Amino acid sequence: MNIKLDWTDKQIIDLLTIDGRMPASDIARTIGGITERAVRYRIQRLVDEGVISITAVVNPKAIGFPVIADIFIQVEPGMILDVAGKISRFENVSYVACSTGERDISVQVVARDNQELYTFVTEVIGRIPGVQKTITSLVPFIVKDDSHWRIPASYFENQNPKS
């Protein structure tokens, strides 16, 4: 699936990335040259086509989960999807992806303290059948998260930027 976006779509998405609750009237006024109704239509099309989703993003540190860690997991061949699925069911897991290279699964977890993180890695992940090895890295701060990713301008290189 390759959905065609124009520069106006990008501007709408960029504004919603900053404030997902921004009214269509404010978006139209900020962009200029587009009506509130057209903005509402475009937002609905972007949602319906799966280009964007509008959702709340929780800050784990604000609610008592100051420890964030990336865990890289080596898994027995043929068990990667099964292990990834099991890990994704834990409430303290914020991200699970299958990867290539030295590690098979990449996981991000949140915890109340280092002891809770240690127990989760050793007593929970370490005991899942198929897990061979884990490498844990504490994440003291995140510079850029996926919730702040923007469509690169290079996507529009072969288009008229104002089309």
Question: Residues 21-74: pLDDT tens digits?
Answer: 999 999 999 999 999 999 999 999 999 999 999 988 899 999 999 999 999 999
Q: How far apart are CA 135 and CA 144, in angstroms?
A: 22
pLDDT at position 153: 86
Average pLDDT, the chain: 93
Find the range with the poorest average confidence among 24-33, 37-46, 79-88, 154-163.
Answer: 154-163
**Given this model, what pLDDT does residue 163 score?**
45
pLDDT at 162: 52
Under a CB-based contact definition with an 8 Å cutoff, are residues 137 and 69 in contact? yes
> Where do the domains of the chain lie?
7-56, 60-138
**How far is it, in rounded angstroms, from Cα 81 to Cα 98?**
8
> Would you tell me which CATH number, out of the four given (1.10.10.10, 3.30.70.920, 3.40.30.10, 3.40.50.300), belongs to the domain 60-138?
3.30.70.920
pLDDT at 102 over 50: yes
Task: Select 7-56's CATH number: 3.40.30.10, 1.10.10.10, 3.40.50.12280, 3.50.50.60.
Answer: 1.10.10.10
Confidence of residue 131 (pLDDT cuts 50, 70, 90): very high
Which pLDDT value is given to residue 63?
A: 96
When pLDDT is averaged across residues 79-87 and rounded to a whole number, the result is: 98
Q: Look at the pTM and tell me if it is higher than 0.85.
A: no
